[in-house]
Amino acid sequence: MMAACLAACGQGKAESDPLLYRVSDGQGCTVYLLGTIHMGRPDFYPLGTAAEAAYQAAEVLAVEADLLSQSAADAARYSAALMYSPGDECRRHLSPETYQLGLQRLGRSEGLLNRMRPAAWYSLAETAVFAELGCSQEWGVDSVLLHRAHDEGKLVEELEGGDAQIGILLSIPDEVMDGEIRRLLSDPDQARADMENALRAWQAGDADALLAAALPSSDTPAYRLYTEAVYARRNALFAQRVTEYLAKGRTALVAVGAAHLLGQDGLAQRLADAGYRVERLPNGQET
C-alpha cells in the first residue's frame, strides 16, 4: 500500500502542496528539497504532481534518518539513551508544575516517568496531541517516502542517522524541554489548535506560517542553544550534503522537516547565498 501512496493515496481529494525547491548549479546538476512532516495522516496524500515528479527524477532519496533500516539493537539503544541511569530521576530536571502535569496527563506510572528523560516526556506529550488529530508516524511523509523507496529499490541515504538525532535530543537544555512539555500539557485545546494550524500550513506550503510555528517560544540563552542545536548546526550539515550531491552530479530528493528549509539559516537561503539557483516549485509546476 505504501509504495503507491505518493501518487495514488487520496484519489479524488485535493492534493497537498508541501514546500518543494529545485536547487541547480548552472551546469545541469539538480537537487530537490522537500519539506516533510514526521507525523501525518492519510488525507495528506497525494503530495502533488511536483513532489511526485521530483521523486521520480531523483536517483537517491536522502532523509534525516532511515527508520526502516534501524535494527532491534538500534531501537533498544535509543530507548536506553532516553532513560536515566540509577541515581538520577526526572523530578530533578523539571519544574514542580511540569512534573505534576506529566503525572496527571502522560498516562504512565510515576516510577516509569521518573526514569525517563525530559526528551521522552516531550515525545509522549507531542505524540498524544498528534494522535488526537488522527496523525501517526506511519503516515509521516518520511515514512511514506521510505516505504516507497525501499519497495521500489530506490537508493536511500541518511543525512545524519539515528545516533546523531538522539545526541541532539539529549543536548537540548532541561529549561527548554520543561517549557515545551508544559506548553503541550497545560492547555490541551490550545495545543491541538496550534498543531492543526501547523498541519494546515504544511499542507498548503505556507512558508510564513510554518516558520512562525517553528520559532522558539522564548529567547533565553537556553532556547538559543536549542535553536543552534536543532536547526543551525543541522542545516549547515544538510546544506553541505546537498553541495556534495551537486558536485558529484547526483540527482537527489532531500526530504527533511519543513522548518529546516526556512529562514535565514534554512537550507533554501544557505544554498542561495552559496551561489546556487534555488527555485520554489508550486504543485503542478514541471521539475
Answer whether residue 143 is part of any domain. Answer: yes
In a domain, 210, yes or no: yes
Q: Retrieve residue 237's grid coordinates.
A: 550539515
Give me the amino acid identity at 160.
E
Task: State how many domains the chain has.
Answer: 1
125 falls within a domain: yes
Cell numbers 521522552: residue: 120
Q: What is the pLDDT of residue 284?
A: 54
**pLDDT < 50: residue spans in the chain:** 1-12
Residue 134: φ, ψ to 5°: 80, 15
Is residue 286 situated within a structural domain? no
How many C-beta atoms lie closer than 10 Å to residue 135's C-beta?
Answer: 22
The SS3 call for residue 277 is strand
The answer to the question of residue 285 being in a domain is no
- Residue 274: which residues within 8 A CB-CB, separation 6 or more? 239, 243
Q: How far apart are CA 244 and CA 153, in angstroms?
A: 22
Q: Is the dihedral of CA 130, 134, 137, 142 positive or negative?
A: negative
In a domain, 136, yes or no: yes
Angle, alpha carbons 15-20-22 (nearest 5°) = 140
Query: What nine digits make up the cell of 111?
Result: 516510577
Other C-beta atoms lying within 10 Å of the C-beta of residue 53: 17
| Predicted pLDDT at 287 | 56
pTM comes to 0.92
Distance CA 68, CA 51 (A): 21
What does the radius of gyration of the chain's CA atoms come to, in whole angstroms? 19
- Identity of residue 133: L
pLDDT for position 152 = 97
- DSSP class of residue 232? I
Q: Residue 54 falls within a domain, yes or no?
A: yes
Q: Beta strand pairing status for 30-36 and 20-24?
A: antiparallel
Full residue range of the structural domain in which residue 141 is found = 2-280
Which residues, at least 6 apart from 192, have a Cβ–Cβ distance to it below 8 Å? 129, 132, 133
Residue at 184 is within a domain: yes
